[in-house]
């Protein structure tokens, strides 16, 4: 895994209200939760820290809030060094996981809490306006336990936002909601962020949520930022296998460089040849070098082997046999075994469904060469793959090896759709 420490934005450090983390780290005894990390979140942006549980994203957030003291490094808000400030002196507010609403206070008093502590006298109008913003005006005098999960979530957002913080921190704020409500709250939060223009830093393990909401996503793994960028950029150009597998699904094929010519790398994989644009290869590509060649399942298409002649020239091709076809409504998900790799996934939109594309059929899997990317082969090909087994089979135990465990294709079929929207 590469130690990627990057910064975003073009603004000079210390400008305006940027959040700037410099060499910040956190260790607990022998365990390093966050490796030294440099990160700049531009003012007014919607920033997501994305990663599996235990990757250090919440610890990073808590260090910005002041609830956790960094073992090294500093936190700046604009020009102000807040590293040693206690949480109640930082112009930062948090929406906690499972909300942490005060059970003994009603909705109104929960929302007014921050204003009252800062000695604001007339809170009534501000609280009313804020409750209207989150559409809870008529519930002002309920206690938190009398509200539904979605309503509690909005109280938590209102309670934080009313203080006009420089930065709003959101710690898995939608984790406790069911899928439909979560989708609605994602849009709602995005709307509120656009409306108030405050910097949002959002911690989540849900890649779809991160991509839907954030301008910039930092993918974290084992206490380090693996890659950072706009959602579409991360999705299209993953720099590591972890990002390729954790954000959506990728077909990764082990290959060896045969030649390099005219901005294109030709590789050999499973007895066939594939082309990769040189610009989309993030590893050294001398002749004979080992690469992992990747393509997203929705960019690949299937054609019956008998009709292979109809495939336009210049596309990458892999021949194989369909092992599984699952109908998902908008699309059908196929798994193809080929000499190049097992369990290659293809998502086909259900426009004209070909009934002959069924398990056992000989097919050619083909895609535009421009949609191919290549990664360094010296990494775990299955890093970041969503496991079907219980999480006890820790990620650290994943052995690099057999490509295309069927479990890999188990990640969401809906992802492709969501991503395309974000990309478009």
Interface residues with another protein (CB under 8 A) are 65-67, 86-89, 92-94, 96-98, 100-104, 106, 113-114, 117-118, 141-143, 146, 159-160, 163
What strands lie across the sheet with 199-204, from one edge to the other? 92-95, 167-171, 199-204, 46-50, 216-221, 224-229
Give the closest residue to 302 by CA, choosing from 249, 232, 260, 350.
Answer: 350
Nearer to another protein, 102 or 327 (CB): 102
**Nearest CB to another protein, comparing residues 114 and 413:** 114
How far apart are the C-alpha atoms of 317 and 364, rounded to whole Å?
A: 6
Nearer to another protein, 35 or 154 (CB): 154
Return the number of the residue (139 or 395) whose C-beta is nearest another protein: 139
Q: Least Å distance between CB 33 and another protein?
A: 17
Closest contact distance (angstroms) between CB of 196 and another protein is 17
Query: What's the closest the beta carbon of residue 154 comes to another protein, in angstroms?
Result: 16
Residue placing its CB nearer to another protein in the complex, 156 or 318: 156
Which one, 160 or 255, has the nearer CB to another protein?
Answer: 160
Q: Which is nearer to another protein, 59 or 415 (CB)?
A: 59
Q: Nearest distance from residue 97's CB to another protein, in Å? A: 8
Cβ closest to another protein, residue 99 vs residue 334: 99
- What's the min distance (Å) between Cβ of 94 and another protein? 5
Say if strands 80-81 and 31-41 run parallel, antiparallel, or are unpaired.
Answer: unpaired
Which tokens go with 141?
A: 């005098």
Minimum CB distance to another protein, residue 104 (Å): 5
> Among all chains, which residue has been given the structure tokens 């050619």?
364
Output the smallest distance, CB 169 to another protein, in A. 9
Please say which residue, 48 or 147, places its beta carbon nearer to another protein: 147
Query: Nearest distance from residue 119's CB to another protein, in Å?
Result: 9
Question: Shortest Cβ distance from residue 156 to another protein (Å)?
Answer: 9
């Amino acid at each position: 895994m590469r130690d990627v420490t990057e910064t975003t934005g073009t603004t000079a450090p210390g400008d305006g209200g940027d959040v700037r983390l410099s060499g910040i780290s956190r260790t607990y005894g022998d365990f390093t939760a966050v490796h030294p990390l440099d990160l700049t979140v531009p003012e007014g942006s919607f920033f997501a820290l994305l990663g599996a549980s235990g990757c250090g994203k919440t610890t990073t957030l808590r260090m910005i809030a002041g609830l956790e003291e960094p073992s090294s490094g500093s936190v700046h808000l604009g020009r102000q060094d807040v590293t040693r400030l206690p949480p109640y002196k930082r112009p930062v507010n948090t929406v906690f996981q499972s909300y942490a609403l005060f059970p003994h206070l009603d909705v109104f008093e929960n929302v007014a809490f921050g204003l009252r502590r800062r000695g604001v006298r007339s809170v009534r109008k501000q609280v009313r306006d804020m409750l209207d913003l989150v559409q809870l005006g008529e519930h002002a005098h309920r206690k938190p336990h009398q509200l539904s999960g979605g309503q509690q979530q909005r109280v938590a957002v209102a309670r934080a936002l009313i203080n006009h913080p420089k930065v709003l921190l959101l710690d898995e704020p939608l984790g406790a909601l069911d899928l439909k409500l979560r989708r609605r709250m994602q849009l709602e939060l995005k709307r509120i962020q656009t409306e108030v223009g405050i910097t949002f830093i959002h911690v989540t393990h849900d890649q779809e949520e991160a991509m839907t909401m954030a301008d910039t996503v930092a993918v974290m793994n084992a206490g380090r930022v693996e890659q950072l960028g706009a959602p579409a950029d991360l999705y299209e150009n993953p720099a590591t296998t972890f990002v390729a597998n954790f954000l959506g699904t990728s077909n990764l094929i082990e290959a060896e460089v045969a030649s390099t010519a005219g901005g294109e790398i030709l590789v050999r994989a499973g007895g066939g040849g594939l082309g990769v644009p040189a610009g989309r290869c993030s590893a050294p590509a001398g002749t004979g070098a080992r690469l992992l060649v990747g393509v997203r399942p929705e960019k690949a298409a299937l054609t019956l082997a008998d009709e292979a002649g109809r495939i336009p020239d210049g596309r990458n091709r892999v021949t194989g046999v369909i092992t599984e076809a699952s109908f998902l409504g908008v699309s059908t998900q196929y798994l193809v075994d080929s000499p190049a790799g097992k369990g290659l996934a293809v998502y086909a939109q259900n426009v004209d469904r070909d009934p002959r594309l069924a398990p056992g059929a000989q097919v050619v899997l083909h895609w535009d060469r421009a949609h191919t990317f290549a990664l360094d082969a010296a990494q775990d090909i299955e890093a970041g793959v969503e496991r079907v087994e219980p999480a006890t089979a820790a990620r650290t135990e994943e052995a690099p090896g057999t490509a295309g465990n069927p479990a890999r294709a188990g990640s969401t079929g809906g992802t492709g759709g969501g991503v395309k929207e974000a990309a478009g």
